[in-house]
Amino acid sequence: MTFLRQPTRAGVRDAAAKLAAILPATPLFTCDLKGVTVAFKAESLQPIGAFKIRGAWHRLTALDDAARGRGVVAFSSGNHAQGIAWAARKLGIAATIVMPHDAPPVKRDATLALGAEVVGYDRATESREQIAARLAEARGATLVPSFDDPWIIEGQGSAGIEAAAQMARAGLPAPTLVVVPCGGGGLAAGLALALPDARITVVEPEGWDDMRRSLEASWIEPVDPNPPPTACDSLQTQRVSALTFDVLSRRDAQGVAVSESETAAAQRWAAERLRLVIEPGGAVALAALLAGRVAPEPGMLVLLSGGNVDPAAYARVLAG
Amino acid sequence: MTFLRQPTRAGVRDAAAKLAAILPATPLFTCDLKGVTVAFKAESLQPIGAFKIRGAWHRLTALDDAARGRGVVAFSSGNHAQGIAWAARKLGIAATIVMPHDAPPVKRDATLALGAEVVGYDRATESREQIAARLAEARGATLVPSFDDPWIIEGQGSAGIEAAAQMARAGLPAPTLVVVPCGGGGLAAGLALALPDARITVVEPEGWDDMRRSLEASWIEPVDPNPPPTACDSLQTQRVSALTFDVLSRRDAQGVAVSESETAAAQRWAAERLRLVIEPGGAVALAALLAGRVAPEPGMLVLLSGGNVDPAAYARVLAG
């Protein structure tokens, strides 16, 4: 499926208005770090526990009645799945989600509870893209990618419109630096469009920092064939897309990588200091800040992008 | 110290206006339980991680300049301490907190970080009331009780004004039943004043359910001399006060008790379903709902009153 359409700032603003009509803004918290007030946007507190609800709503509401009647298909390890399932249920659209057998049970169960059909696949031997494409073709359904889609990017960017308004109300400077977790780059690209005057730093787990390497190389580099294990299930993207890369590259976005222990420390800090449950992939931007890989500055906005944890694994992280 | 003044609904509304001028409303979340939409007020997301910031702000802002200059003294195992310290710092008032040596380190450290002086005492052999009263007398400072005070009760009640407005905006019915954790009863009494048309159910840990027994007996009964251990450090109050008891008794408030395992299960549910870190004492109202001790009904409002946990103990709870 080819999209000629490019994501735009006008599209982000449209998405923000659509989201504001159905959901309250996620809370913005502030903390003083080394004498600097840093803002944290808690996307973990969305009804599905992640920002993915934004892009899903913007995309599905853009479908015409005929397309809605044929349903949607998505592939996702979890949070995008829940976003699509949530939006589809609210709009009365049938949703089919292609999800790896080893997806966190909490995410699979939540997707089923939202009324979606879940089709499993083996992450090691099967291609979720092919399975999803075949399903979509057989049913005439619309395939909804998790990041390689202009509506999805615009929808995720609505978090930036919200955050800027909240920072202004809190008497903080306009966002100067956005630090954001990056899988495929949909949230980061959306924020870049939403906040044209801010610098963008994307954060990935070590060994999965293909966006960082791509931005440095000025072309898209995939993840190495045998990446290290990571707890960040929501950031395990093999390759970013031209759409997200182009937006971030044109904005001279920077990339940093964080270690697994830095991510775990950030999850503990979020629990203790912000009283928020943050999943590993949702905590990497905070980890970059706390580990000193990004320096705090006035106008800094850090995205806490999701909070869907496996309880046992999360308990081990908190126990340190 | 005797207060002739009674807490009033007008005082609660005044407190709500004062709070709205300095802090955003804490988020209200909804969940469907047995087909009924229940509202959860996340006071754990206050800057100090608990509702106590409300009463503290309402009380300290009511002091005149001379009283502010002489400082304030409070006794608290933690959350009230942080509330007083937070409000005192913001107003430039010196705060001294009498706190048991076995208070959770996270709460003591947070109080110190807010600039208060902490005076320790032995929970088993010393009377915090006497220590605090002596300190206040010696310094001419104002003693600020954690619940036996009309301003404190009114301040805590501001959460009810906020929640009712949020429920209306979310298209929910006006609050019909408020389920609220109870230590000394300050929050419960404040909510009763804030929401004159709602029924009130207070929830306490088993063996510490002196408000429940007092309401049934129609006079104040203290906790038994050897109460069982409880993880709910913020609800270990030996005796409720005439001020809080009278408000709740006149409203025919009901009391229920929950077990330690029901409280732990509620903490796990809050982490997994709401992505919120809730402390044991903050989770008892949710525990009563999940354990079936209170039936869900439309217009139900459940207070999640605090989120200051000891990380190691919290990790054990999540591990189940």
On whether residue A199 sits in a domain, the answer given is yes
Non-local (6+) Cβ contacts of A31 within 8 A are A37, A38, A40, A273, A274
- Cβ atoms of B83 and B52 within 8 Å: the answer is yes
Whether A167 and A228 map to the same domain: the answer is: yes
Q: Closest-CA residue in chain B for A45?
A: B275
Last residue within a domain, chosen from B128, B143, B158: B143
A70 and A214 inside one domain = no
Write out the residue range of the structural domain in which residue A299 sits.
9-50+150-319
Which of these three, B143, B169, B185, is where a domain ends? B143
B170 & B314 share domain? yes
Of the residues B29, B40, B275, the best mutation for testing chain A's interface (the one with the most A CB atoms within 10 Å of its CB) is B275
Same domain? A69 vs A44: no
In this structure, are B41 and B77 located in the same domain?
A: no
Nearest-Cα residue of chain A relative to residue B31:
A47
Least CB–CB distance from A277: residue in B29, B106, B277: B277
The CA distance from A263 to A283, in Å, is 6
Tens digit of pLDDT for each residue in B238-287? Answer: 999 999 999 999 999 999 999 999 999 999 999 999 999 999 999 999 99
Residues A57-91 have pLDDT tens digits of 999 999 999 999 999 999 887 899 999 999 999 99
Integer Cα distance of A76 and A118 in angstroms: 10
Same domain, A135 and A186: no
Q: Are B196 and B9 in contact (CB under 8 A)?
A: yes
Chain-centroid distance of CA B215 in Å reads 18
Contact at CB, B308 and A106, closer than 8 angstroms: no
Which ranges of A64-149 would DSSP assign to H, the alpha helix? 65-70, 79-91, 105-113, 128-139
> B66 — contact with chain A (CB < 8 Å)?
no
In terms of domains, do A119 and A223 share one?
Answer: no
> Which position has the token pair 């203790």?
A272
Q: Is B3 within the bounds of a domain?
A: no
Q: Residue B108: its pLDDT value, please?
A: 85
Q: Which of A83, A111, A143 is the last residue of a domain?
A: A143
Average pLDDT, chain B: 95
CA distance A140 to A133: 10
**A271: contact with B, CB 8 A cutoff:** yes
- For chain A, say whether B101 makes contact (Cβ under 8 Å): no
On whether both B271 and B237 belong to a single domain, the answer is: yes
In a domain, B2, yes or no: no
Whichever domain contains B73, its CATH number is 3.40.50.1100
Chain segment A159-172, per-residue pLDDT in tens? 999 999 999 999 99
Q: Give me the residue from B170, B268, B307 closest to A275, CB to CB.
A: B307
In a domain, A86, yes or no: yes
Q: Structurally, how many domains does chain B consist of?
A: 2
- Domain check: are A220 and A310 in the same one? yes
- What lies within 8 Å, CB to CB, of B137 at 6+ separation is none
Q: Write the residue in A27, A307, A315 that is nearest to B319 by C-beta.
A: A315
List the single residue in A with minimal CA-CA distance to B169. A24
Asked if A316 and B316 come within 8 Å (Cβ–Cβ), the reply is no
Angle in degrees, 0-180, between the axes of helices B52-61 and B9-22, rounded to the nearest 10: 100
Residue A130 lies in a domain: yes
Report which secondary-structure segment, H or E, holds A149.
none
**Does residue A4 fall inside a structural domain?**
no
A311·B268 Cβ contact <8 A = yes
Q: pLDDT tens track of chain A, all 320 residues?
A: 455 789 999 999 999 999 999 999 999 999 999 899 999 999 999 999 999 999 999 999 999 999 999 999 998 878 999 999 999 999 999 999 999 888 878 778 888 999 999 999 988 888 888 898 999 999 999 999 999 999 999 999 999 999 999 999 999 999 999 999 999 999 999 999 999 999 999 999 999 999 999 999 999 999 999 999 999 989 999 999 999 999 999 999 999 999 999 999 999 999 999 999 999 999 999 999 999 999 999 999 999 999 999 889 999 999 98
In angstroms, what separates the C-alpha of A269 from chain B's closest C-alpha?
Answer: 10
**pLDDT score at B157:** 98
Question: What does the pLDDT read at residue A104?
Answer: 76
* A1 part of a folded domain: no
Q: Are A29 and A42 in contact (CB under 8 A)?
A: yes
> For position B6, what pLDDT does the model report?
94
B125 shares its domain with B193:
no
Residue B162 lies in a domain: yes
| pLDDT surpasses 70 at B1 | no
Same domain for A164 and A268, yes or no, is yes
Residues B176 and B303 in one domain: yes
Strand pairing of B177-181 and B199-205? parallel
pLDDT value of position B2: 52
